[in-house]
Each structure stands twice: as structure tokens, then as C-alpha cells.
């Protein structure tokens, strides 16, 4: 029996990974946080096929109980238990507002999982994937960034993720745990959370086209990101845990665009011709045909420390895993706007 346990199963990546594992015949378990309102909308279409448990990465007792429940249930019939740690306080801007909570979940939460794996009697059948992030590179020391590029985190989120990255390697080397990091660059989809910039843009463009919204308020539109699709990236996660030995990999498209370019492509898709005027906080984007303002800039959406350029090099993953991406940025924008 192959079993997958996903923290953050109700999120964008967790929902796509659940679908992938189910198609491959896995028993899929998931840890989701208790909420007074429903947070399972991304997995409702498959929820009857999942084994869900309430839990939190701040609670080592519940993590251990869930892990023990799974290994006790399958026992010696267990071929492999793949643990995908996708749970996180994942919003970079918000991490400046709640840095202690972010550090506990995104940093120490990884340690709690690894400790539970280390102490499980079936630890030799457990494989662990840690969701690392391109935000580790921060003030990038090289362009493009590879597995060997030095890290320079620029937010509480990135600093917490850096701890998670290194504690994963530490437990791999100290306790012979199958544990690896996927250093994933930005990946999007229609299931992206509403507060993330790509979803904010594509939703805003849809609303403007339908006359439901006047304009979109943005922060730094000149930062550049390497954007892929979450479907492509969760397949890469799975590939990492199918190898004989645990190795860390970068997943990216190798192409980057500014947020401003993402905005332009989004408006272009709905046949609105956006033009720009002004500088800095006074810059606006407007509809060339009507003169109507489409984009305004507000300083409250700027980070205290910006990450200007992220561009990944996935040569290692492509050569060793056989991984490749299928979606380009225009395909991602089309799907996000149409869905």
C-alpha cells in the first residue's frame, strides 16, 4: 500500500497533489486546520476519497498521533508513506505582521514533523518532502538561481523557510531520514488564494471587464518573478520522492516577467489595451480606448524589503528527474481568467 500524507491539503498545491496521488492509486490522508467556516472548497469534489484529520503544525502531539494512526493502520503492508509538508503561513507580506507565528509554523513546524518521523517505528518506510521556496534567494546573489546559489532571505517568511530547509537536510544527514527540499519558484492556478498578486490581478481584470470593479490597486509592479503552474510543480514534488536517494531540487520555468508585464498580458487577453503614465506612486495604468483608470499604486502594498528578481534554473531536475513544465505564462493567465 502506498500512502500519502499532506499538510496544507486544503490549499492550492495540496488539492492538486491530492488529485495526482489518487490517480496513482495512493491512499491519501490530509491534515487541515479547524476553522469556523468551511475551508475545503478546493477538495470538496474529492473529499469522500480522502482521510482528513484536524491538526496544526504548531501541535506536535496531534502530528504524532496522526502519523502513528496511519502507520499502525497499514503496518507491515505499508510500502511507503510519503509525507508532503505543504502547510505554511504562506503570504510573504503578512509575515511581516505576524512574524512569530510565521516562524513557528514555517520553521519549527518542519522540525516537529521530522521529529515525529524520526521516532516512528516505520521511519524507514517514510519519505518526507519539504516545500521550500524561491523566496530563500531574496536579494539574489546570482541570476538565474540554482541549487548552489547562496540564500539571502528578505522576509520573516523566507527566514522561517530557511530554517525549514536546513533542518530537513540536518535530519537527513543525522538520522538517515529520506527527506528532501523542493525549492519551488512561484506557481499559480485558478485555485490561488485571493490575496496573492496573480489572483488579485486576474480576478480584478475579470471584474473590470464585467463592469463590477473600477480599478486594481497594486504595490511594486516592477519586481520580476518566474511563474509556473501548480499542476506542473506538484508532479515535480512527487517525482522527488520516487528517487532512490533524497536530493534537493529547484523547480522553475527559467523565464521571468515583471508584475507589470503580467498585468499587461492579463488585460490583453480580455481585449483591453492598457497604457501607462506617471512615475512611482503616481504611476497609473489606463484604458487607451476609454481613458478609464485601470491600475493605481498604493504604498501600503509594498514590502518593507523587496525581492526584485527571481529566476530559476531547473536543469538539475530536468536531467535527473525527467521533469518539465507544460504551462507557459499566457496559458496560466488564460486559465485563471476563464475559470
Predicted confidence at residue 38, as pLDDT, reads 82
The residue with cell 509575515 is 95
Predicted confidence at residue 81, as pLDDT, reads 98
Q: Give the three cell numbers for residue 171.
A: 535530519
* 279 given a catalytic annotation: no
* 163 given a catalytic annotation: no
* 135 given a catalytic annotation: yes
Q: Which is the catalytic residue, given 19, 27, 82, 135?
A: 135
Q: Which is the catalytic residue, given 71, 133, 198, 253?
A: 133
> Average pLDDT for consecutive 10-residue bins of the chain (339 residues)?
96 98 98 88 97 97 97 96 97 95 98 98 97 97 97 98 98 98 98 95 98 97 98 98 98 98 98 97 97 97 93 98 97 97
| pTM (2 d.p.) | 0.96
Contact indicator for 140, 193 with CB cutoff of 8 Å? no
Helices 197-209/329-338 angle, 10° precision: 50
Contact indicator for 18, 26 with CB cutoff of 8 Å? no
Predicted confidence at residue 174, as pLDDT, reads 98
Element (DSSP H or E) covering residue 26: none
For residue 318, give the nearest of 244, 257, 235 by alpha carbon: 235
Predicted confidence at residue 66, as pLDDT, reads 98
Amino acid at each position: 500500500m502506498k500512502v500519502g500524507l499532506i499538510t496544507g491539503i486544503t490549499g492550492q498545491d495540496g488539492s492538486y497533489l491530492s488529485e495526482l496521488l489518487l490517480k496513482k492509486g495512493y491512499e491519501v490522508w490530509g491534515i487541515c486546520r479547524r476553522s469556523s467556516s468551511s475551508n475545503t472548497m478546493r477538495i470538496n469534489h474529492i473529499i469522500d476519497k480522502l482521510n482528513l484529520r484536524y491538526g496544526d503544525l504548531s501541535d506536535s502531539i496531534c502530528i504524532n498521533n496522526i502519523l502513528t494512526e496511519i502507520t499502525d493502520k497499514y503496518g507491515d503492508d505499508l510500502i511507503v508513506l510519503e509525507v508532503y509538508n505543504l502547510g505554511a503561513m504562506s503570504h510573504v507580506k503578512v509575515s511581516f505582521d505576524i512574524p512569530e507565528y510565521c516562524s513557528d509554523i514555517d520553521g519549527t513546524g518542519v522540525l516537529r514533523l521530522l521529529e515525529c518521523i524520526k521516532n516512528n517505528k516505520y521511519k524507514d518506510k517514510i519519505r518526507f518532502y519539504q516545500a521550500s521556496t524561491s523566496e530563500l534567494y531574496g536579494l539574489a546573489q546570482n541570476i538565474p538561481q540554482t541549487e548552489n546559489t547562496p540564500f539571502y532571505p528578505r522576509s520573516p517568511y523566507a527566514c522561517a523557510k530557511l530554517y525549514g530547509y536546513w533542518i530537513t537536510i540536518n535530519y537527513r544527514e543525522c538520522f538517515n531520514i529520506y527527506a528532501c527540499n523542493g525549492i519551488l519558484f512561484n506557481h499559480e492556478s485558478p485555485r490561488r488564494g485571493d490575496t496573492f498578486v496573480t489572483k488579485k490581478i486576474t480576478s480584478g481584470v475579470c471584474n473590470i471587464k464585467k463592469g463590477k470593479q473600477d480599478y486594481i490597486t497594486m504595490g511594486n509592479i516592477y519586481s520580476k518573478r518566474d511563474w509556473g503552474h501548480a499542476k506542473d510543480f506538484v508532479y515535480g514534488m512527487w517525482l522527488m520522492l520516487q528517487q532512490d536517494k533524497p536530493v534537493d531540487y529547484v523547480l522553475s520555468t527559467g523565464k521571468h516577467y515583471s508584475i507589470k508585464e503580467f498585468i499587461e498580458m492579463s488585460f490583453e487577453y480580455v481585449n483591453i489595451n492598457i497604457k501607462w503614465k506617471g512615475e512611482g506612486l503616481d504611476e497609473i495604468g489606463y484604458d487607451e480606448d476609454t481613458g478609464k483608470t485601470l491600475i493605481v499604486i498604493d504604498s501600503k502594498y509594498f514590502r518593507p524589503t523587496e525581492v526584485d528578481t527571481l529566476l530559476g534554473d531547473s536543469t538539475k531536475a530536468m536531467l535527473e528527474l525527467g521533469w518539465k513544465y507544460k504551462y507557459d505564462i499566457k496559458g496560466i493567465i488564460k486559465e485563471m481568467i476563464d475559470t
